[in-house]
Structure 1
C-alpha cells in the first residue's frame, strides 16, 4: 500500500544513537506554525513523513511535554480500519515540532484484510468454548505483520480466581501467533500483612463507605459488596474480621495514587483523575491481580493451611495497580521479554510505593510479598526479590537467549535486578534490617544512584520510550535515553544505568 508523504517535510536518516536500540534517530524540517503550537498535529505530520502511518490511521494515546517544551506523542495505529496490535510508537519532538527520534512502530504494512478462516475456527484454534473475536493486524515479535483474529476470553477457576486470555490466531492459516493472560497477576504465596492503625479517606452517606472522595472515587469491596460501616472505624487487625483486609487494600490504593501523583505527577492510574476498584475476599486463592476490563484489583484470601493470609500487602497493591499504568502507557505485551518487562515494572513500582509510604508496620525493602507469610522470613518466604531474583530457584538474575521463553514472572528478574543495582549498587548491604546481596556478571561493580533517581528514570522510560514489543535491549536504550533527558549526557546517572545493564548481561 502506497502512502503519501507530507508536502514540504524533508526527512533524512542519521547515524543511530550509540547504544539506543529501537530508538530511531531522525531529522526533519520544522513543521508549519500551527503544528508548532500543537505537538499532536506536528507528530501526525512527522509520522506520515516517516512512513509510520497517515494521520487518519493514528489514535493518540498519550502526550508528554517536557519543561523545555519538547514533546513525546504516543500513537496507536490502525490499518484500513483495523487495530494494529504492536504498531504503537512514540514521536519525540523539539519545542518547534521537529522530530528528533521515534520509539517502536512498524513502517511497512502490506496485509490483505480478507480472512481465509471463519471467526468460529479462530475460537477453536484458541481452545476456547466462548469468547470475543475481532479482526486485527498483528505484529509478531520478528516484526512481521499478519491479519489475525484477536480472541478474548474471561472466567474464573474453581476456587474463584479470575482468569482471562488474549489469543491471536492467523486469519489465513488458522495458526496461533501468540497468547497471554489478560489478568496480570502476582504469583505469590504468603502471609497477610495488616498495615497497623492508619487514616482512611471514606465517604459519608446513610453510613460510611470505603469510597475515597479525594482520589477519584477509589472504592474497596468485600467480594462484590461495597464496604460500609456505621462509625467509620474499620477492622481490628485480625483475619476473622472481614474489614481488616479491606483496610490494607484501601490504604494501598490510596498510597499508590499518592505515590504516582507526588513522585511522577500522574493523576491516577489512567492519568485521568478517575479511581479504580479493589475487591478483597475475592476467592480462596493464593493470588492477586489487575484487570483492565473492570479497571480493578482482585485479592485472593490466601490459604490458612499454607500459612498464607489475604494478599493485600502494600507492595502487592502497588504492583497490581502499576499493571494499569503500564497498559495505559507503553502497553507492554504480556509475553516474552516484553511480558517480563511488564512484570518487572510492577515489581519496581510496587517496591517504590512501599518506600514512599514508609509505613512503620511494613518497613521498605526490595523483597516483594514477604509479609503475607505467617512464618515471616524474607530470606526464605517471599514472592520475589529484586536484589537476587534467582533466590526463588526459577527467576533469572541476568539476560540470556532463553529468558524470553520463561514465564513472565520469572523473566522479570532481569529488569528487577537491573533496577536494584541502579538504585542500591552491587554487593552486600542491610536495608531496614533485611540483608540484601546483589551480584553482577561481566565483572561489573555498580555504585547505585538511589531509588529516588532510579524510579524517575524507569517511569520516564516506561511512559516516553518503551512500546508494546520492547525487549530488554530496548529497555537499556530507553533508560539510557531517559537518564540523559533527566540528568544530562555523560552524567553519573547515565553511566550507572549502563553499568547496571551490563551487570545483568544486557549489552
Structure 2
C-alpha cells in the first residue's frame, strides 16, 4: 500500500450572500378598529391519509418530552453504543399519533460539541428503538483534546477566510471554541471561529470557520446568515393582526406567538423601533409611508406562521409557540433580505435606491423557512446539504405562496417572478426546469456539491416540482410549465399537498446536518412509506421523481429496471484491508446485462485514496474506480455502468472498497445494483 502527505481538506466553495426568493406583492392596510383583529382561519391544504402523522403538541407537552429525553440520555447513549466520553443533548422532539417519538439529539465528546454528530432516534410506543439516523457513521474518537496550535491561530485563519470571501469590517464575534469536527468523515479536534462584520454586499456576516487544532489548517467554512434578493412592487389589501394599547396600535401579533415588526430606519444594528400609531390602518401602498413595508412584512410572517400551523401542526419556527420578529428598512439601498438564527429574526432591505423594499410574501416564506431548517435538520450551508437547505426554503416559500391564495400573487413554481432581478421580466429561478436560470442544475451529478448552494438547490427543486405536478407540459394559475426528466421517462405527480407533507416529515425526522442528495432520497422514501405505505402510489412517485433527476433509479416495472440495494454502513479502515458490502440478487433469469448500473454512495474525506471494485457471484472483479493521489474531493457518489453480460445474474454481488493511503477515513453509506 502507498502513503502520501496532503494538507488538511478545506471547503472549496464560497458561500454567496446573493440568494433567491420568490416575491409577491401584498401591501397593506389592516382593517378592524378597536381590538386586535382575529387570526384568519384556513383549512389544512393537504390531509395525510394514514395515522402516522405528527401530533399537535402544546409547548408544555413538547417541553416535557424533551425533559424526558434528557433524563434518559445516558441510557440512550449506552443503548446506541456510544463511547464513554460521549453524551447526548436533546434538541427537538416530534410525536406521532401511533405513539412513535422522533428525538433529535446533539452530541458531545469529552464535553466538547460534536459538529456533524447529530442524530435522530425513532422510539416506538413500546419503548423499542426502531431507527437511528446519524449525520456521521464514523466512530467519535480523537487521540487528544489538547490543541497543538493556539486559538489565536484559528482566529487569524478565520479572519483571512472572511476577507478572501470579500467581507468588510471583519472581526471575530467571540473567541474560538474547541469542538470535534465530524461532518467530513474522520472526527478531528478543531476550533470554531465566528467572524462578524459585513459581507461584500452589506449583508451582516456570520462566517463559521472550522480550523484543525493540530495543524492550523482550515477544514470547512459556512455562512450563518442565509439570504434572499429582490426588487419588489406590490399591490393588494390584506388583514393584519395587531395589538391595541391605550390609544395606540402596534404591529404585534398576539395570535401568532407575539410576532413583532420593527422599523430600523436605515440602521444596521439593534432591534429598531416597534411600529406604533393611533390608526389601525398601516401604510398607503407606496414607499412614501414607512409603515407600508412594515405591513407587508407583518403579513408575510402571519401567512408563514399559518402555513406551518395548518399544514404541518407546527407552532412557530421552533415549534414552541413563540414568534420571531421582523425588521424592515435595513441599511441604505440594501438589495437583500435575510434570516438570522442568532437573533431569531427576519430582516428586509429597501432595494436599489431605497425604492423597492423586499418585504414580500415569498421572501418571508423562504427566509423564515431557513429558521425552520436551522431548528430541525440543521443542514450545513455548503455543498449538497447547502443545496438541500436552499431548496427547502424554495419549497416551503412556494408552499406559503399557494397557501395564501392571494389574488394579487397566485401561487406558482417560479422563484422571484415579480422582482425582475434580471432586468428583462424573467424569474430568478424555475422549479420545473432549474437550468433555465443559466446556472442551476436540473439533475444530480458528482459536481453538484461544488456549485453555489443556490444553484445546487435546483436538483431538489426539480424533484419537488416533478413529485407535485409530474413531467411534461402543464398550465397552473395561468403559468405554463414544461418539465423534462433526466432519464427520459415520464413522472406522474401526486399533488403539491402530499409532496409538502413528505418533504416536511423527511426534514424533521430523517435529515441531519450532513444529509446529501442520496440520503435525501432515502429520507423522503422513508417519510413517504410512513405517511402512505411502501406499496402506495406516493412511495413509487418519490422513487420515480428522484430517478428523474438522476438520484437513484426507478422501481421494477416502472421502466427503469429492478434494483437491489444495501443501505447498511460499512466502515473503511484507514490505509487498511479491503471491506465488502453484499446484495443478494434473486428472481432474475439468465445473465446480467451489458449495462448493469452500480450506484455507489461512499462518505470519505479524500476519495482519491479509494479503490472500488464490483465482485460478481463467481468472484470475477470489475474495476469501478482507481486510486488517485490528486483527487482530494470528498465522497464518492457515482453511477457506474458495467458490462456484466458474461455473469449469471442471480447470486451474491459485492462492492469491494480499499483505502490505500493514510490520514483519511470514511464508510460505505449505501450501494445498489440496477438491472435495466
TM-score over 0.5 for the pair? yes
For 1:115 and 1:382, the matched residues in 2 are separated by 49
Deviations for 1:325-346, whole angstroms, at most 9, x for unmatched residues?
A: 1111101011110011110001
Q: 1:269 aligns with which of 312, 317, 322?
A: 317
Matched, 1:297 2:353: no
For 1:50 and 1:374, the matched residues in 2 are separated by 50
Secondary structure at the aligned position of 2:293 is classed as helix
1:90 deviation in Å? 0.6
8 A contact 1:288–1:299 mirrored in 2: yes
1:150 deviation in Å? 0.6
TM-score of the two chains, using structure 1 as the length reference: 0.88
Q: Which position in structure 1 is the counterpart of 2:53? A: none
Q: Which position in structure 2 is the counterpart of 1:96? A: 126
Deviations for 1:384-434, whole angstroms, at most 9, x for unmatched residues?
A: 221111111011111011110111111111111111110011111111111
Q: Which position in structure 1 is the counterpart of 2:113? A: 83
Q: Which position in structure 2 is the counterpart of 1:198? A: 238
Q: Which position in structure 2 is the counterpart of 1:166? A: 208
Matched, 1:330 2:373: no
Matched, 1:221 2:262: yes
For 1:486 and 1:352, the matched residues in 2 are separated by 19
| Within-5 A mapping of 1:104-503 | 104-106=134-136, 107-111=138-142, 112-126=144-158, 127=160, 129-132=171-174, 133-141=176-184, 143-157=185-199, 160-186=202-228, 188-194=229-235, 196-206=236-246, 207-223=248-264, 224-283=272-331, 284-304=333-353, 309-373=356-420, 380-503=425-548
Larger Rg: 2
For 1:209 and 1:192, the matched residues in 2 are separated by 24
**Alpha-carbon spacing, 1:158–1:473, altered in 2? closer, same or farther (3 Å):** closer
Deviations for 1:270-290, whole angstroms, at most 9, x for unmatched residues?
A: 111111111111122221110
For 2:420 and 2:296, the matched residues in 1 are separated by 15
For 1:131 and 1:247, the matched residues in 2 are separated by 33
For 2:328 and 2:436, the matched residues in 1 are separated by 29
Secondary structure at the aligned position of 1:149 is classed as strand
For 1:226 and 1:258, the matched residues in 2 are separated by 22
Aligned length: 465
- Where does the alignment leave 5 or more consecutive residues of structure 1 unmatched? 1-34
8 A contact 1:43–1:91 mirrored in 2: no
8 A contact 2:230–2:421 mirrored in 1: no
**Alpha-carbon spacing, 1:86–1:375, altered in 2? closer, same or farther (3 Å):** closer
- Where does the alignment leave 5 or more consecutive residues of structure 2 unmatched? 1-64, 161-169, 265-271, 553-676
1:381 deviation in Å? 2.5
- Farther off after superposition, 361-370 or 78-87: 361-370
1:375 deviation in Å? 9.4
8 A contact 2:122–2:130 mirrored in 1: yes
User: Higher relative CO (CA 8 A, sep ≥ 6), structure 1 or 2?
Assistant: 2
1:243 deviation in Å? 1.4
Q: CA RMSD in A?
A: 2.2
Secondary structure at the aligned position of 1:101 is classed as strand
For 2:135 and 2:521, the matched residues in 1 are separated by 18
Secondary structure at the aligned position of 2:330 is classed as coil
